Amino acid sequence: METFSFDKFFDSLVEGISPPIKIEEYDTAVGGSDTAIESILQFPEAPKFRPLFEGARKEVGDLCLKIDVVLDKLRMDFVAYENKHKESFEELQEGVEDLTENFDRLDSRVASVSETAAEIGDQLKFMMYFNETSGYVGEEPSLFFDDDRVAEAAAVAQKLRAIAEDSISGVHGVPAHTALNGNGGLEVAAKNLQAYCNELENRLLGKFDAASQKGDLWTMRNCAIILNQFNKGGSVMQRYIASRPMFMDLEVMSKDAHAILGTEEGIAQVDDLMNSLASVYKEIAACVESLFKSYLEDYAEFELTSLNQLHKAKVQTLLLSWKLKYQKTLELKSCPLADISQSRRNSILHPFSPVSPQRRNSAMHSYAPISVSVVEEFVEWNEEAVTRCKLLTLKEPPGILATNMKAIFTCLLDQVSQYVTEGLERAIEALKEAAALRERFMFNSNTNRKVVSAMAVAAEAASSAGESSFRAFMAAIQSATTNMTMLQRFFNASVSQSLLAQEGAHAACCDAIASAIADAENAALRGLQGSLDTVLAEVERLLAAEQKATDYKLLDESLTPEPTTACSRGMDCINR
Same structural domain, 166 and 118: no
Q: What is the pLDDT of residue 569?
A: 57
Q: Look at the chain and report how many structural domains it folds into.
A: 3
List, for the chain, all residue ranges whose pLDDT scores fall below the cut of 70. 1-7, 9-46, 126-127, 129-153, 155, 158, 168-186, 212-213, 215-219, 221-223, 225, 227-311, 329-368, 438-466, 535, 537-576
Q: How far apart are CA 463 and CA 535, in angstroms?
A: 10
Q: How far apart are CA 411 and CA 535, in angstroms?
A: 38
Q: What is the pLDDT of residue 115?
A: 82
Give the residue from 78, 98, 127 where a domain finishes.
127
- Residue 274: domain span: 142-317
Q: How far apart are CA 226 and CA 291, in angstroms?
A: 11
- Residue 123's contacts (CB-CB under 8 Å, 6 or more residues apart) are 185, 188
pLDDT tens by residue, 31-56: 555 554 455 555 566 677 778 778 88
Same structural domain, 63 and 97: yes
Burial of 345 per CB tally in 10 Å (0-12, 13-18, 19+): middle
Q: Which of 300, 153, 139 is nearest to 234 (CA)?
A: 300
Residue 487 falls inside a structural domain: yes
Residue 343 falls inside a structural domain: no
Give the residue from 269, 298, 317 where a domain finishes.
317
Residue 339 falls inside a structural domain: no
Residue 349 falls inside a structural domain: no
| Spacing of C-alpha 576 from chain mean position | 58
pLDDT tens by residue, 245-286: 555 555 555 455 455 445 444 444 555 656 665 666 566 666
Residue 554 falls inside a structural domain: yes
Query: What's the DSSP call for residue 398?
Result: H
Same structural domain, 288 and 420: no
Residue 108 falls inside a structural domain: yes
Residue 393 falls inside a structural domain: yes
Same structural domain, 155 and 215: yes
Same structural domain, 366 and 287: no
Q: What is the pLDDT of residue 386?
A: 84
Residue 425 falls inside a structural domain: yes
Same structural domain, 156 and 243: yes
Per-residue CA distances from 240 to 209, 210, 247, 304, 477 (Å)? 8, 12, 10, 14, 64
